[in-house]
């Protein structure tokens, strides 16, 4: 079993839809959670960074962390064609001084006009 599981998709939605992207994990020591967006032929771009449990909102994006269920989510409201990209969840534990991130496999999202 992988430490972080993420449905690779592809996920196709119409413009304006609410998108829900999810990751589950097995390591209860994970404390820092990130979502990255990666466009084709570009590097991953940090979208959201959260510590421990709770919600964080930034514009059309909301990140949720439920440590009791070992489950994190990214919601995209009013999705746009420009949101079409691969979304990667990543996490690391409190004691990992080296900063090693554990990534999910990435979900490929397509938003159709």
Partner 1 sequence: DTEVTQTPKHLVMGMTNKKSLKCEQHMGHRAMYWYKQKAKKPPELMFVYSYEKLSINESVPSRFSPECPNSSLLNLHLHALQPEDSALYLCASSQPGTGNGAQHFGDGTRLSIL
Q: Does residue 82 bind partner 1 (CB under 8 A)?
A: no
Q: Whole-angstrom Cα distance, residue 74 to residue 78?
A: 13
Q: Does residue 59 bind partner 1 (CB under 8 A)?
A: no
Q: How many residues bind partner 1 (CB under 8 A)?
A: 27
106: CB partners within 8 A, 6+ apart? 6, 8, 38, 86, 87, 88
State the minimum distance, in angstroms, from the CB of residue 16 to partner 1.
27
Q: Which residues pair with 108 in a beta bridge?
A: 86
- Chain positions contacting partner 1, by CB under 8 A: 8, 32, 34, 36, 41-46, 49, 88, 90, 92, 94-101, 103-106, 108
């Amino acid at each position: 079993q992988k430490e972080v599981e993420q449905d690779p998709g592809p996920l196709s939605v119409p413009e304006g839809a609410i998108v829900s992207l999810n990751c589950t994990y097995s390591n209860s020591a994970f404390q820092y959670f990130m979502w990255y967006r990666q466009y084709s032929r570009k590097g991953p771009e940090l979208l959201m960074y959260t510590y421990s449990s709770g919600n964080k909102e930034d514009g059309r994006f909301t990140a949720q962390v439920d440590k009791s269920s070992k489950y994190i989510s990214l919601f995209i409201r009013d999705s746009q064609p420009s949101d079409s990209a691969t979304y990667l969840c990543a996490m690391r534990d409190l004691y990992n001084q080296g900063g090693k991130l554990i990534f999910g496999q990435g979900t490929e999202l397509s938003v159709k006009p």
